[in-house]
Amino acid sequence: MPRRQVTSPLLVEIGARIRDIRLEQGMSLDQLARRSGVAKGNLSSTEHGRVNITVETCLRIAGALGVSAAELLPELLPEPEQGSGAGGSRRRPGIGGRKGRARPGIG
């Protein structure tokens, strides 16, 4: 039975960014494979959003393209709202700042 390939919008976007940067630089898939040490087939699948690459692979591709890994990744978090009054600092709920509540077994 053939393996069903699932793509996600995130993987497609990352792959498109890699392909766009590679083509802007006039670099072939073979050249990127040699420079990054990532197999040509894996790069092709990555550019088409068919594989979920590791952080290490993302860093290797970014290095071979001469860009930061952040340039390959879409911005996932919305921009903070202007005038939030909190000085631009955002805290994650449930992380730190628990006043008046002792943790069991401590102190």
Run means of pLDDT, 10 residues per run, the chain, 107 residues:
67 96 98 98 96 95 97 76 53 41 45
Crossing angle for the helix pair 29-36 and 40-47, nearest 10 degrees? 110
- Domain presence at residue 97: no
pLDDT of residue 89: 45
- Domain presence at residue 58: yes
For residue 52, give its domain range.
9-72
- Domain presence at residue 81: no
pLDDT of residue 7: 75
- Domain presence at residue 25: yes
Count up the domains in the chain and report the number. Answer: 1
Instruction: Tell me, rounded to whole angstroms, the distance of Cα 93 from its chain centroid.
Output: 24
> What is the reported pTM?
0.67
CA distances, 45 to each of 26, 48, 87, 95, 105 (Å):
19, 5, 43, 38, 51
pLDDT of residue 75: 81
Q: What is the DSSP letter of 67?
A: S
- Domain presence at residue 56: yes
CATH code assigned at 47: 1.10.260.40
- Domain presence at residue 21: yes
- Domain presence at residue 84: no
- Domain presence at residue 79: no
pLDDT of residue 53: 93
